[in-house]
Amino acid sequence: MLKIKKTKIDMDKTIKNKVDFSLKSMSLKPKYICGNLVKLNTTNLTYLEPHKAVLDNFMILFFNYSD
């Protein structure tokens, strides 16, 4: 039986500010959902679930990244 372990990933503030700035002109306020790091304990598989910004009928997916 596979056991799944989820670890919450904090959202980078600069990404959140960029999304807020781009949607400010359209008067939209997104709802943010932080992503998760999903590990299957008995295997070496890991999945990075992206952060989500939910608008009226749209969902924007994005990841943290560094230069």
Evaluate if residue 42 carries a pLDDT over 70: yes
At 66 the pLDDT is 60
- The DSSP output letter for 57 is S
Evaluate if residue 67 carries a pLDDT over 80: no
Evaluate if residue 36 carries a pLDDT over 80: yes
Evaluate if residue 27 carries a pLDDT over 90: no
Cα distances (angstroms) measured from residue 46 to each of 6, 53, 54: 10, 23, 25
Give mean pLDDT, residues 39-67.
Answer: 88
